[in-house]
A and B are shown apart, each in its own frame.
Chain A
Amino acid sequence: MQPLTRVEGRAIPLGLKNVDTDIIIPAKWLKTISREGLGAGAFEVLRAEPGNVFDNPAYQGAPILIAGDNYGCGSSREHAAWAMLDLGIRVVIAPSFSDIHSGNAVKNGILPVVLPQDAVDRLLEVAREGLEITVDLEAQTVTTPYQDRFAFEIDPFRKHCLLNGLDEVGLTMARGEAIGGFEAQRTAAQPWLMRGTAAA
């Protein structure tokens, strides 16, 4: 995973509410067994509309996406995060995110920034002017050339992983002893919990 500290660039002013993961990447693209190349199907339904923001040359290659409430709702498909990454998106700014999708985003080095609706509206305006927005993860701020400055909250562990590009699986495997202790306790107290498919 690519570390993320500061992202500076133009932003795609999508603004739409309830952008579900079927919109981010339709089911027909889920048949891959790889993580690569999903950008081709990203936002396919929206891109079928003439004049859509994604194909507007002003926002080509923009690393930031600005959306409405409940971004990434629906299916848990991580393909949505892979598709966004393949498009070059590293930051999504929205008033709220689905829990599952924001987790998937972080695990792939994409920063979900939660800001109040009025801040998001302001950033949409700036983005529509084609101006660059700066997202600073270290300082937890989003700034614009007009001196707007919005502070955002982020879970400290997520921040740490994003800043350092850390692999969560490796981090947890290092806690193997604690997990083993928990398993031993359960096997003694509630052995049926540990049988799983072996019970059949």
Chain B
Amino acid sequence: MASRPRTLYEKIWDAHVVETRDDGTALIYIDRHLVHEVTSPQAFEALKVAGRPVRRPELTLAVPDHNLPTTARVDASGKPVPIADPESAAQLAALEVNAPAFGIRYIPATAKEQGIVHVVGPEQGFSLPGTTIVCGDSHTACHGGLGALAFGIGTSEVEHVLATQTLLLQQSKPMEVRVEGDLGPGVSAKDLILHIIGTIGAAGGSGYVIEYRGKVFEAMTLEERLTVCNMSIEAGARAGLIAPDDTTFAYLKGRPMAPKGAEWDAAVAYWRTLHTDDGATFAKSVTINAADVEPSVTWGTSPEDVVPIGGRVPHPGDFADESKRVAAQKSLDYMGLTPGTPMTQVPIENVFIGSCTNSRIEDLRAAAAVLKGRHKADNVRWAIVVPGSGLVKAMAEDEGLDKVFTDAGFEWREPGCSACLGMNPDKVPPGERCASTSNRNFVGRQGPGARTHLVSPAMAAAAAVAGRLADVRELV
């Protein structure tokens, strides 16, 4: 008997059900677990106290990223530079001790493979299509770009996965975001996902797992797909997915932890079955016209506060919903913006190129292409590029991109989360604006009082050159 047509999400889910309980909760097997220093110490502590071992240490990979300073990690004599902030140092030290103590592979801060967990997982071939991937970090959704069911979990769940390699979950509903047509010139994957979030809202995907469909996504590189899926959580979705295809397989082939030889062939044969069947139904479906997408920028303190770069700061009165009007007024006060101001007249003092959304080699290439032969404006006081991993950094240096950035007045840093969340010393000063390629423009996200405008790497570069938010299409 032919089975009922299923969505990609349902196929991955079904393949991971260990057992279903009477109440409909399923025990789901977790194939890959990424661990960083911030959300894991309390989980390891709980295991120690209860005398519980890690069930499958080889299915967890640990890497420090959130707290690490992005300045030089070793001194002239090759010795590791101590971390100045004692609390950061304690958290990093806890991971360095906990991972090996529980038999977990640990990538140290000084290794060239170190980077942001969500950059490292795909890069090492640890994250694979069709797998369930979790991490104590909401942007785990990123790995959905490989066709994996990837989502963020809390620390109690980190403990649960370490001890049992499973999670107790309720199935989400499948949602389709279909994009028709092609993106215009100068419009990037980041602009598209910002536009999508602006359209469906910060809670538009709540309770759903989104599958992004349409030829735009098929034409995207793997890096672009990771950027799109990364921000699924900003639309409230549990996860985001793009079906794996030859682009995915070509990206993974030969990566250190990817299958090899006959196992590679078997894996690819399996991955080819991972797509939504004809006739499968989605609980919710949204269609976006690619031609409507322009280089996008946020004006407020929620990722749904998106306007095209040619647009203006909205009036709170423009919103139909009362609570949104109140929220918009609060956002404008925090952001120091006047309704009606053209976005291209908003001055920028800081530029951050980095984060798990946009710190891969293609992102750096896109920004460098705009900056080549140009210099940041004088009013831009601080501009940094933080590559997503040591391997990205090395590749960029081989291509001479570091030189393009430093010539343009940017600082070229060591990999980590950096000013995406300001847990390390990289913070945007209070009251100052930042054109940032990260994923969250929340109040205080980049430092207390910091004002964030989310943009693509090319748009961040354009803002640096213009000293204000700017349309990159006018620069290229």
Hey, which bits of chain A sit against chain B, CB under 8 A?
16-18, 20, 22-23, 26-28, 30-35, 45, 68-70, 73-79, 81, 96, 98-101, 103-104, 107-108, 155-157, 168-170, 172-173, 175-176, 178-179, 182-183, 186, 190-200
Q: How many A-B residue pairs have CB under 8 A?
A: 208
Q: How far is the CB of A31 from chain B (nearest CB, A)?
A: 4
B163 interfacial contact with A, CB 8 Å: yes
User: Are the CB atoms of A179 and B45 closer together than 8 Å?
Assistant: no
Contacting residues, chain A, for B136 (C-beta < 8 A): 76, 78
User: Are the CB atoms of B163 and A196 closer together than 8 Å?
Assistant: no
Hey, which bits of chain B sit against chain A, CB under 8 A?
18-19, 21, 23, 25, 27, 29, 31-32, 38-39, 41-42, 45-46, 50, 52, 55-56, 58-61, 66-67, 85, 87-88, 90-91, 94, 104-105, 124-126, 128, 131, 136-138, 151-157, 159-160, 163-166, 168, 170, 172, 202-203, 206-207, 236, 238, 256-260, 263-264, 266-267, 270, 302, 323-324, 327, 421-423, 440, 442-445, 448
Contacts A31-B88, A168-B168 known; A22 to B443 CB distance under 8 Å? Answer: yes
Contacting residues, chain B, for A190 (C-beta < 8 A): 266-267, 270
User: Are the CB atoms of A182 and B29 closer together than 8 Å?
Assistant: yes
User: Are the CB atoms of A31 and B87 closer together than 8 Å?
Assistant: yes
User: Are the CB atoms of B21 and A197 closer together than 8 Å?
Assistant: no
* 4 closest A-B pairs by CB: A31-B87, A78-B154, A192-B259, A104-B154
Q: How far is the CB of B319 from chain A (nearest CB, A)?
A: 12
In the assembled complex, 12 residue pairs joining A and B whose CB atoms fall closer than 8 Å, in A order, are A17-B324, A22-B442, A26-B448, A32-B91, A69-B323, A76-B154, A98-B206, A100-B153, A103-B153, A169-B46, A191-B263, A197-B257
User: Are the CB atoms of B160 and A169 closer together than 8 Å?
Assistant: yes
Instruction: Tell me whether chain A's interface is mostly helix, strand or loop, or mixed.
Output: helix
User: Are the CB atoms of A197 and B23 closer together than 8 Å?
Assistant: no
User: Are the CB atoms of B156 and A31 closer together than 8 Å?
Assistant: no
Look across to chain B and name the residue whose beta carbon is closest to the beta carbon of A31. Answer: B87
Q: Which of B38, B153, B165, B166 is in CB contact (< 8 Å) with A30? A: B38
Contacts A26-B444, A33-B91 known; A179 to B18 CB distance under 8 Å? Answer: yes
Q: How far is the CB of A73 from chain B (nearest CB, A)?
A: 6
Contacting residues, chain B, for A30 (C-beta < 8 A): 38, 66, 423
Contacts A22-B443, A100-B154, A193-B131 known; A28 to B59 CB distance under 8 Å? Answer: no
Contacts A27-B445, A78-B154 known; A196 to B56 CB distance under 8 Å? Answer: yes
Contacts A22-B443, A70-B202, A100-B154 known; A169 to B423 CB distance under 8 Å? Answer: no
User: Are the CB atoms of B168 and A99 closer together than 8 Å?
Assistant: no
Contacting residues, chain B, for A155 (C-beta < 8 A): 23, 25, 170
Q: How far is the CB of A30 from chain B (nearest CB, A)?
A: 5
User: Are the CB atoms of A81 and B154 closer together than 8 Å?
Assistant: yes
Contacting residues, chain B, for A194 (C-beta < 8 A): 56, 58-59
Look across to chain B and name the residue whose beta carbon is closest to the beta carbon of A108. Answer: B156
Contacts A45-B443, A78-B155 known; A33 to B19 CB distance under 8 Å? Answer: no
Q: How far is the CB of B61 from chain A (nearest CB, A)?
A: 5
Contacting residues, chain B, for A22 (C-beta < 8 A): 440, 442-445
